[in-house]
Structure 1
Amino acid sequence: MKVSKKLIFFLGALGGLLYGYDMGVISGALLFIKDDIPLNSVTEGLVVASMLVGAIFGAGASGPLSDRLGRRRVVFIIAIIYIVGALILALAPSMPILVIGRLVIGVAVGGSTAIVPVYLSEMAPTAQRGSLSSLNQLMITIGILSSYLINYAFTPIEGWRWMLGLAVLPSLILLIGVIFMPESPRWLLEHKSEKAARDVMGLTFEHSEIDKEIADMKEINRISESTWKVLKSPWLRPTLIIGSVFALFQQIIGINAIIYYAPSIFSKAGLGDATSILGTVGIGTVNVLVTIIAIMIIDKIDRKRLLVIGNIGMVASLLIMAILIWAIGIQSSSWIIIICLTLFIIFFGFTWGPVLWVMLPELFPMRARGAATGIAALVLSIGSLLVAQFFPILTDVLPVEQVFLIFAIIGIGALVFVVKYLPETRGRSLEEIEADLRSRTNATNAQIDKTE
């Protein structure tokens, strides 16, 4: 059955929607879980953060597994795990079962962060790779917005079980959709046949591009290396570190504090539960809109330039908010907080949000792309875990403005990292990026010599 290009990329990115939904839905559910299951600041952080603990395992395992079994089969497994986790959460009678359900969901979330960017990147033609790979971030933002809308819809009945359990529906769509997803052509060329790879590339590439792409992939395949050998090789280590630090910064510059705890922040500023959740709907809507803008421009502007612009905007938003809250008090700052957090989301949404998911698979070589992206996603999950676990504790012991000042300082560190260490990848094929990476350490010639 021939599948349209649009359907391929929609289904390929659907895991991102589930990631976004499960990341955002907990923010509203927490307001009402406490009425049925007692939580303090520590156990609240544990419920939120347990998903990220599961994500660490999911990201670490899914990358190498996808290099062995294929991207498509691993996505099928991820869809089943999402369904099981959502059902556990919907029926959870106690805090420990909530944590178990979030752990299970987390395994699927970690798998999504590792596999979806790789799949989209490997399916996309070079000239459109940025915009098509950004569909992952668009789906994440749509998932977050969907969770906020569901939270708002069920607020009158305090239906937190419905909020958490409705993740089953998109999970079922993903499970069925996998049937129509082709396997990555780069995986097929290495594990099946050139004909299989060409057939799939015919669905998303121009026919004039296929011969060159296949030739480049075959040149890389001449190098006799296993996934594990590539991962532990000295020539890849600096890039793996850069990719992992990049992923860590994306999570600790403050975005997850907003996604997870925006209603709680608004409540502290004096807004009611319904108004607090409605405020997050506005933020989620802005996030989707700016991500659509990012998809339109990401292949026209250098990746690093976008990241620098985003960093400057995010840091400025946090600094302005922190100063104004300090000057006039949080109870008088509700609209200032909403405006500044919205500005933060705007700058994050068209820069750091999509660019990370585009660049991670671009940075790594084909033979270990799934595994290396999985390692970076694992580090990303650790960063998200740190924010989820410690943000409520920090806001208990520090004024809110000081917490956001900490995120601003981290944002300055991220800016320095981007300027100094991150390579530019726009406008180059995945094989050209890999060839350049290898040539800097003579890795290509050394490995080819061993096979001749």
Structure 2
Amino acid sequence: MGVKINKKLIFFLGALGGLLYGYDMGVISGALLFIKNDIPYSSWTEGFIVSAMLIGAIFGSGVSGPVSDRLGRRRVVSIIAIIYIVGALILALAPTVSVLIIGRFIIGLAVGGSTAIVPVYLSEMAPTEHRGSLSSLNQLMITIGILASYLVNYAFTPIEGWRWMLGLAVVPSLILLIGVAFMPESPRWLLEHRSEQAARDVMRLTFPEHEIDKEIADMREISRVSESTMKVLSSPWLRPTIIIGCIFALFQQIIGINAIIYYAPRIISKAGLDESASILGTVGIGTVNVLITIVAIFIIDKIDRKKLLVTGNIGMVASLVVMAVLIWTMGLHSAAWIIILCLTIFILFFGFTWGPVLWVMLPELFPMRARGAATGVAALILSIGSLLVAQFFPKLTDVLPVQEVFLIFAVIGILAIIFVVKYLPETRGRSLEEIEADLRSRTSATNVKMEEDK
């Protein structure tokens, strides 16, 4: 690395992929209100426009994890930035629905890559005592991206400028592409593929000096187990953890957050507010999302991850039940602003619990040699969950009253509480190597492998 880089800038640039993910996830909600005026399409096609990005994300997350384990996190981030730029330009210039869908699919490849790589990079760059707060920057950037998309949507609503809405993703994509030149590679990847000195040089940028020797020694101990990425990924001892990680990622998507992010303007519009007011309502929701995520950054290393998740679930379920009851008793049109309030409360509880904690915990759960690939598998399942919500939520609201749909999400939230309490391990306050050593010792994986090596 020829250029000395500020520690804060490393984590900002590392999390910038999350901002693009959030922007492209949120911007479509406003653009859909106006695309139909220029490019006619059916309600079935609308689902494809939204879900094309999520289909692309399935491929992107599935491929980027293993590739990053081979090529390095930094190199894959630069590829993701280029894909974001190409996708945004295609969307801005799209003449037909087919090209829109292709552009959304290309954007999805980058989104999937971001969900798999950004959390891993931040987790591996962060010292143990601050890993939760620094890894939470990914979720903060996602929420900032969502809020930015809502603000852009609101700004271009008077001219129905959906092409501007979609195309402005080029700006942060270019910043990310330029910023990659100043990002160091992950020290854990460098130790595996380059040298101990290269890893130490990078760790001096973000780790306290007195922690480096211990971290290197722990990484060396794990590295003694001579397994390939694919062998670790397919090993019986890791399989239960991968399943837990995948279910964890799936729950984050199907507890209702993406139904709110993708279709908030539509929900609010159904309640009787005009298009401008609908988008402005989402700006308020997005602002709360950003502010509460900032709060989460300060508390996530002080409270056990599982306690945060259960607290968040209780708040989200309560807001959904209250909203459903009020719609039933007052009617959808009479409850317009109450709906916005309940959606905001839902976002508030999601924003300081399930939003950031998932991105912190996923890389923590998996071993060094397969961290990128295993996180990629979980991110793939996350993208599938997001796709299911995007594809079926509009259809559910067509055949069921909105309040009944929200009650379905409330039931899913209760199931998520049971999963967290019963199956999810606690990871706060432990180094990545300590978590891996515990995982291996519980399955006797280390001892077995070392005997084989002898």
TM range (shorter): over 0.9
**Alignment-derived partner of residue 187 in structure 1:** 189
**Alignment-derived partner of residue 149 in structure 1:** 151
Map 1:156-167 → 2, pairs under 5 A: 156-167=158-169
- Matched residue SS, 1:427: coil
> How far does residue 370 in structure 1 lie from its aligned partner after superposition?
0.1
Q: How many residues are aligned here?
A: 452
Q: Report whether the alignment pairs 1:416 with 2:448.
A: no
> How far does residue 229 in structure 1 lie from its aligned partner after superposition?
0.3
| TM-score, L = length of structure 1 | 1.00
Map 1:86-235 → 2, pairs under 5 A: 86-235=88-237
What is the alpha-carbon root mean square deviation over aligned residues? Answer: 0.5
> How far does residue 316 in structure 1 lie from its aligned partner after superposition?
0.3
User: Could you report, residue by residue, the CA deviation over 1:212-248 in whole angstroms, capped at 9, with x for unpaired residues?
Assistant: 0000000000001000000110000000000000000
| TM-score, L = length of structure 2 | 0.99
User: Could you report, residue by residue, the CA deviation over 1:237-267 in whole angstroms, capped at 9, with x for unpaired residues?
Assistant: 0000000000000000000000000000010
> How far does residue 41 in structure 1 lie from its aligned partner after superposition?
2.2
User: Could you report, residue by residue, the CA deviation over 1:292-349 in whole angstroms, capped at 9, with x for unpaired residues?
Assistant: 0000000000000000000000000000001110111101110110010000000000
8 A contact 1:41–1:393 mirrored in 2? no
C-alpha distance in structure 2 between counterparts of 1:381 and 1:229, whole Å: 24
> How far does residue 148 in structure 1 lie from its aligned partner after superposition?
0.3
C-alpha distance in structure 2 between counterparts of 1:59 and 1:207, whole Å: 34
2:344 to 312, 335, 342: 342
Q: Report whether the alignment pairs 1:253 with 2:240.
A: no
- Matched residue SS, 2:158: helix
C-alpha distance in structure 2 between counterparts of 1:66 and 1:98, whole Å: 29
Map 1:329-408 → 2, pairs under 5 A: 329-408=331-410
C-alpha distance in structure 2 between counterparts of 1:94 and 1:259, whole Å: 25
- Matched residue SS, 1:256: helix
**Alignment-derived partner of residue 443 in structure 1:** 445
User: Could you report, residue by residue, the CA deviation over 1:372-400 in whole angstroms, capped at 9, with x for unpaired residues?
Assistant: 00000000000000001111111111111
Q: Report whether the alignment pairs 1:44 with 2:51.
A: no
> How far does residue 36 in structure 1 lie from its aligned partner after superposition?
1.2
1:75 to 74, 77, 85: 77
> How far does residue 449 in structure 1 lie from its aligned partner after superposition?
1.5
**Alignment-derived partner of residue 36 in structure 2:** 34
**Alignment-derived partner of residue 64 in structure 2:** 62
8 A contact 1:365–1:434 mirrored in 2? yes
User: Residue type matched to 1:201 in 2?
Assistant: M
> How far does residue 40 in structure 1 lie from its aligned partner after superposition?
2.5
C-alpha distance in structure 1 between counterparts of 2:135 and 2:321, whole Å: 31
Identity %: 81
C-alpha distance in structure 2 between counterparts of 1:317 and 1:120, whole Å: 32
**Alignment-derived partner of residue 3 in structure 1:** 5
> How far does residue 448 in structure 1 lie from its aligned partner after superposition?
1.2
**Alignment-derived partner of residue 433 in structure 1:** 435
C-alpha distance in structure 1 between counterparts of 2:428 and 2:122, whole Å: 15
> How far does residue 48 in structure 1 lie from its aligned partner after superposition?
0.4
**Alignment-derived partner of residue 267 in structure 2:** 265
Map 1:319-334 → 2, pairs under 5 A: 319-334=321-336
> How far does residue 43 in structure 1 lie from its aligned partner after superposition?
1.1
